[in-house]
Structure 1
Amino acid sequence: MQAFTEGNAIFTYPNTPIKCGGAPQKILYLTEDYFRKKGKREHATMIYNTSLEVVFPVPKYSEALYKQMLQRDIHLNLKRSLVEVRHETSEAVFEVLGSDGVLETYKYSMLHVAPPCSAPSVLWDSEVSDKTGYVDVDKGTCQHVRFANIFALGDCSNLPTSKTAAAISEQYNILAKNLSQVMAGQEPSHEYDGYTACPLLTKKGLCILAEFGYDGKDLETFPFDQSVPRLSAYVMKVYVMPLLYWHFLLT
């Protein structure tokens, strides 16, 4: 960011599940804000190439983030998957998903690559995993769909929600209760609703606090519209959440 002078600044989202679905956009907005403050913005073409069909998988937040891109002149390209980086010529090659192999090449001065992610290699081709390599569990109980003595949560599971600290903090409560029931010879009765949270920094001092469950269901905590960037959400993200994570969640 400091070394950038002019040209295309390209930010990518991979064609795989990802550790934090909002991370590629957070750094996009923070970089745009930094360029504006340093007088570089007029020399930068900001480009966001995502493999997704939408800006964000939850319509309410997708609309809010799309407005951010319009207001800040950020070029959005959907269904673009990074397949090659030619660092000698500063070119990034993207496949247009669903187009039968059409490729697009972009020159870049700055390239932020959100890497493809996968389950741990020990789970690949394992009988406990699905075809994508993640442990195959019931999305409500966190119990394996075929092996009743196996439970999974977090990054290794195929639970259809974002892989965030907020998600796993809810999952382990459900898993612990259900595991205790199974160990006592009972059927698991507690259901995980897919809750996850994704604080989306839009600039230094402002943040959208996205909270949602399965199928984009609204699970917001506070009595106001959390799709609006706020200082309070920024303070929570930058100062409160790290304390909660290191001193309460992990312990």
Structure 2
Amino acid sequence: MSEPNLSHDVVIVGAGAAGLATAASLLKRIPDLDLLLVDPAKEHFYQPGWTLVGAGVFDQASTRRKTATLIPRGAKWLPAAVTGFEPEHNRLQIAGHGQVSYRQLILCPGLKLDWAAIDGLPSTLGQNGVTSNYRYDLAPYTWELTRALKQGRALFTQPGMPIKCAGAPQKALYLACDHWRRKNRLGAVKAEFLTANPSLFGVPAYVPALRRYIDRYGVDLCLRHRLVAVDGPSRQALFEVTDEEGRTLQQERRFDMLHVVPPQCAPDVLRQSPLADTAGWLDVDPHSLRHRRYANIHGLGDAIGTSNAKTVAAARKQAPVVAHNVAAALGEAQGPASYDGYGACPLTVERGRIVLAEFGYGGTLAPSFPQWLIKGTEPSRLAWWLKAKGLPWLYWHGMLKGHEWLARPTTADPA
């Protein structure tokens, strides 16, 4: 039954990492807040764990929980999809529930994995040696293929930016190569990393360590190579290759294993709304995370059109900023909070070692730990422990519960 003309103080669209963390942080600031979360997903996933599922380190089921068990106490949850935005009237349309009005709106719907943008890919995923750690159901297949491959060609692809967790395509490569190295298969198994981007990683300080692992594993690094089509039964992948002068040509490559990362974009309902920027992302100020045209709308997470890395670590820092600024808009907090573009990417270069990339806007290094403890530009065993043990615990028991450990926002005095 539809429920037209519902009204709430705050509506949060998206109950992923960003939405749940923001809801929990807001309710810690305003315990009696009338807050509604809107998200049709009945299950919630710890997506950073899928890389380790694909390497046989994590159990697949450990990354999944029921959404209902994660809704913060005091929040309401509507398991339905948003079908339209009417920011001039402070309301949105929800499938099966009519119009819902708000005083403040927070948008964190995530992004869209555009599998169909690669011709032939959807029909061959999960078979014919084609896999991706970007899907819960396929990450175990990555590990199955890695263990089974004793010789042949393994291709690992990365689309153009932006994508969520820009290091994840490389993590799949390094962990597979480390397994083959340990089994004395490197050489018989030849790996290639084909990225649509002009460099291995967007922050230059981390490239030297990553290049050493590219060399160590004997990986063929192919820049400006964009995957455009896959013929699974024939084990052929088609790439568009762009040279430094901008000329393009197409190349076919045969594979025995193909790990694909799809192109990514904002959800259709957002891209087609008045809230989007020219590229389709949510148009927010990069520091306040408030919408540039609608003062009672904020955004965070993967859907916003800011230049920070699209990672859970970014959402962990953004959520308290948005929670504070929305509370201030409701008259329950003082002074603006600001986000500095922080993002983190634990680049798993081998089983047991990680290059912990942490950076803010403009690629400025932003380490959370002193260099004597974890030197982020070099592989670290402690960073591996952090990725495998510490961060999952922090996610489930800290971030999603509204604990702002190492993420409390700095605020300016009100003008």
- Residues 187, 137 of structure 1: CA spacing in aligned structure 2 closer, same or farther, 3 A cutoff? farther
- Give the Cα separation in 2 of the matches to 1:12 and 1:250: 32
Q: Structure 2: which amino acid aligns with 1:76? A: L
State how 1:209-220 maps to structure 2 within 5 Å: 209-220=356-367
**Kept in 1: contact 2:311–2:345 (CA 8 A):** yes
Answer yes or no: is 1:144 the counterpart of 2:287. no
**Kept in 2: contact 1:16–1:118 (CA 8 A):** no
**Kept in 2: contact 1:69–1:76 (CA 8 A):** yes
- 1:43 is aligned to 188
- Give the Cα separation in 2 of the matches to 1:206 and 1:6: 25
Q: Structure 2: which amino acid aligns with 1:244? A: L
DSSP-derived class of the 1:34 partner: helix
**Structure with the larger strand share:** 2
- 1:20 is aligned to 165
Q: Structure 1: which amino acid aligns with 2:367? A: E
Q: Structure 2: which amino acid aligns with 1:29? A: Y
- 1:57 is aligned to 202
- Residues 103, 208 of structure 1: CA spacing in aligned structure 2 closer, same or farther, 3 A cutoff? same
- 1:129 is aligned to 276
State how 1:1-251 maps to structure 2 within 5 Å: 1-97=146-242, 99-184=246-331, 189-224=336-371, 225-251=375-401
**Kept in 2: contact 1:182–1:188 (CA 8 A):** no
* Offset, 1:182: 2.7
Structure 2 gaps, min length 5: 1-145, 402-415
Q: Structure 2: which amino acid aligns with 1:68? A: Y
- Give the Cα separation in 2 of the matches to 1:186 and 1:144: 19
**Kept in 1: contact 2:324–2:333 (CA 8 A):** no
- Give the Cα separation in 2 of the matches to 1:186 and 1:179: 8
Cα distance per residue 1:72-122 (max 9 Å; x no partner) = 211111111100011122111111236444111111111000122221221
- Give the Cα separation in 1 of the matches to 2:270 and 2:247: 30
DSSP-derived class of the 1:250 partner: helix
- Give the Cα separation in 2 of the matches to 1:77 and 1:103: 13
Q: Structure 2: which amino acid aligns with 1:5? A: K
DSSP-derived class of the 2:197 partner: coil
- Output the aligned Cα RMSD: 1.8
Moved more, 124-133 or 96-105: 96-105
Structure 1 gaps, min length 5: none
- Give the Cα separation in 1 of the matches to 2:273 and 2:242: 29
Identity among equivalent pairs (%): 38
* Offset, 1:52: 1.2
**Kept in 1: contact 2:178–2:217 (CA 8 A):** no
Q: Structure 2: which amino acid aligns with 1:183? A: L
Q: Structure 2: which amino acid aligns with 1:229? A: P
Query: TM-score scaled to structure 2, two decimals?
Result: 0.58
- Residues 100, 125 of structure 1: CA spacing in aligned structure 2 closer, same or farther, 3 A cutoff? farther
Moved more, 64-73 or 177-186: 177-186
DSSP-derived class of the 1:19 partner: coil
- Give the Cα separation in 2 of the matches to 1:67 and 1:38: 20
Moved more, 185-194 or 220-229: 185-194
- Give the Cα separation in 1 of the matches to 2:224 and 2:329: 43
**Kept in 2: contact 1:8–1:110 (CA 8 A):** yes
- Give the Cα separation in 2 of the matches to 1:140 and 1:124: 22
DSSP-derived class of the 1:82 partner: strand
**Kept in 2: contact 1:153–1:159 (CA 8 A):** no
- 2:110 is aligned to none
DSSP-derived class of the 2:297 partner: coil
- 2:57 is aligned to none
Moved more, 207-216 or 12-21: 12-21
- Give the Cα separation in 2 of the matches to 1:113 and 1:56: 17
- Residues 226, 185 of structure 1: CA spacing in aligned structure 2 closer, same or farther, 3 A cutoff? closer
